[in-house]
Structure 1
């Protein structure tokens, strides 16, 4: 399954880019690597890859620009625009499965964001952030165990329980101490 092998595929594509003759890989390598970075929500690497892709390759393959449009909307956290950009294109076989995975991952991150950030949110906003119609979004919320008020159309997400880890690394302790000392100095 692609989802399980995505890191291996990314490493292989990065190697192909590095070893490409004349320093320019094929457009398929660029397309797939850019799509993988979006799957991984690695927007910084996506941005640097976009800057490395030669303009000639960008002009020859408009699908690269369409993938980049998705990345730009992801960068801005504009969920409705991300979904519009993902569904407005008939993706080639080279990236279709990856772009479907991008859509799944964006939806999953939106649900996590809602659960962690909101004590109540309009059902219509949930639908917009997940690219689901209101009825499906409401059913999905109920399935997750969230309270959905039928009369007000408000959703009350249940914050996921964080399992405490018994061990705090030295780096984490040092970061917290540094942050605390910095707070006291200011």
Structure 2
């Protein structure tokens, strides 16, 4: 089984190409060998490839197509699927827990960390914009919870983006850029923030 193209993509950290490469290789190999090759197929990498590009439908299809024995004999596949499940249910905390709580093999560790960094950055940027729209002051603890960071990291992030910290009260004062301050708060953003808070509390 020639996986050189996949290995090259992994080595060059071209993670957004992994799913397509694996899909093509899988079709080629399956046409000549049937499903027996799945015992040695890099299922965890293939599954994470779909998750990395946020193609959760393809990830679910791949997961369902894998024989139960293949899944049971490879805990790493199960660990990757747990990430996918958390994404599907929008359980952001669960995503990071699934990444943190498994001891990844050297072959996939960099890929998992790249995915984690990508998701974290996207999530933090979106959440920061929601907080910017919805609050004028907010506690450091709440900021940390919303941002999925430690309090120290959340304060550092907020201060670097122009917010002011009152060390006595532990409150952050939201500072908006002049253009942002003239805009009305988008009700849909407030609704999403409310839903997120509800999810955290239940």
* 8 Å Cα contact 1:28-1:94 kept in structure 2: no
Q: Counterpart in 2 of 1:91?
A: 104
Cross-structure match for 1:19: 28
CA shift for structure 1 position 133: 1.1
Q: Please, which of 138, 141, 153 is the counterpart of residue 124 of structure 1?
A: 141
Residue matched to 1:77: 90
Q: Which residue of 2 aligns with 1:65?
A: 78
TM-score (normalizing by structure 2): 0.66
Q: Give the structure-1-normalised TM-score.
A: 0.71
Q: Which sections of structure 1, spanning at least 5 residues, go unmatched?
A: 162-186
Q: Is the partner of 2:149 in helix, strand or coil?
A: coil
**Aligned partners of 1:109, 1:50: CA distance in 2, in Å?**
25
18 and 114 in structure 1: CA distance in 2 versus 1, 3 angstrom threshold: same
Structure 2 stretches of 5 or more lacking a match? 1-8, 180-202
C-alpha contact 2:163 2:172 (8 A) present in aligned 1: no
Distance of 1:110 and 1:97 partners within structure 2? 20
Cα deviation for residue 42 of structure 1 reads 2.1
Distance apart, 1:68 and its partner CA: 0.8
State the superposition RMSD in angstroms. Answer: 2.9
State how far apart, in whole Å, the 1-side matches of 2:173 and 2:67 are.
Answer: 46
Count of residue pairs the alignment pairs up: 161
Determine if contact 1:127/1:134 at 8 Å carries over to the other structure: yes
- Which of structures 1 and 2 has the larger relative contact order (alpha carbons within 8 angstroms, sep 6+)? 1
Equivalent residue number for residue 171 of structure 2: 153
The aligned runs of 1:22-41 (5 Å cut-off) are 22-23=34-35, 24-26=37-39, 28-41=41-54
Q: Is the 8 A contact 2:155 2:165 kept in 1?
A: yes
